[in-house]
């Protein structure tokens, strides 16, 4: 029994740490996003956009290459249909991933923007913000379906 408990902790104890770190990345991303429209035009704005884009790409990468993979692997162990639900949620997340990558490609590093470019930037930032808000809700559902719902079962193992 001790060995089963140890195995469960080894398998799933790290998932919580990965999720915690990822959620800290999310909080930093949101904080930068909120402050972005108040940055002065010129070099400060350019630097802040670069920071935001860097945080955005790091967050997306962590989600796709660490968190989602771990969550799906954990859900697979329980054979309760949670993996199928998780995969459906993952498909919903892809739209915001594509939008965020496009935002990064279009806005990372513009210098001396015109008024029209600033207006376009603010519109795309607003659209991205809405997509990220939806994404965060879906990711939270994914955590609930694939991780939180199995915590007690994993502890019993």
pLDDT, one tens digit for every residue, the chain (157 residues): 234 333 434 444 467 888 889 999 999 999 999 999 899 888 888 899 999 999 999 999 999 999 999 899 888 888 888 899 999 999 999 999 999 999 999 987 777 788 998 999 999 999 999 999 999 999 999 998 888 766 656 555 5
CA dist., res. 12 & res. 54, Å (int): 29
Give helix 68-76 / helix 115-146 axis angle, nearest 10°: 20
pLDDT for res 12: 42
- Length of the chain in residues, anyone? 157
Cβ 128 vs Cβ 103: under 8 Å: yes
pLDDT at 140: 92
Q: Which helix (H) or strand (E) holds 46?
A: helix 43-62
pLDDT at 28: 96
Residues 6 or more apart whose Cβ sits within 8 Å of residue 103:
53, 56, 124, 125, 128
CB of 103 closer than 8 Å to CB of 135: no
Sequence ranges of the domains in the chain: 2-156
| CA–CA distance, 150 with 156 (Å, rounded to integer) | 10
Q: What's the pLDDT at 85?
A: 94
* Sole residue written with tokens 């400060």: 44
pLDDT at 81: 86
CATH superfamily, domain 2-156, is Regulator of RNA polymerase sigma(70) subunit, domain 4 (1.20.120.1370)
Tell me how far CA of residue 112 lies from CA of 11, 61, 69, 80, in angstroms. 50, 30, 41, 54
Computed over its alpha carbons, how large is the radius of gyration of the chain?
19
Q: What is the pLDDT of residue 102?
A: 97
Per-residue confidence (pLDDT) for residue 152, from 0 to 100 = 59
């Amino acid at each position: 029994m001790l060995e089963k408990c140890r195995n469960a902790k080894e398998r799933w104890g790290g998932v919580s740490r990965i999720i915690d770190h990822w959620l800290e990345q999310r909080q930093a991303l949101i904080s930068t996003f909120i402050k972005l429209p108040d940055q002065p035009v010129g070099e400060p704005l350019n630097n802040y956009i670069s920071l935001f884009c860097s945080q955005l790409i790091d967050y997306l990468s962590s989600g796709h290459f660490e968190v989602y993979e771990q969550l799906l692997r954990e859900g697979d162990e329980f054979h309760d249909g949670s993996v199928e639900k998780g995969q459906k949620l993952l498909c919903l997340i892809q739209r915001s991933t594509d939008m965020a990558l496009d935002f990064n490609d279009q806005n990372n590093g513009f210098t001396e923007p015109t008024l029209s470019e600033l207006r376009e930037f603010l519109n795309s930032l607003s659209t991205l913000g809405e997509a990220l808000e939806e994404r965060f809700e879906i990711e939270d559902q994914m955590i609930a379906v694939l991780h939180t719902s199995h915590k007690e079962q994993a502890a019993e193992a």
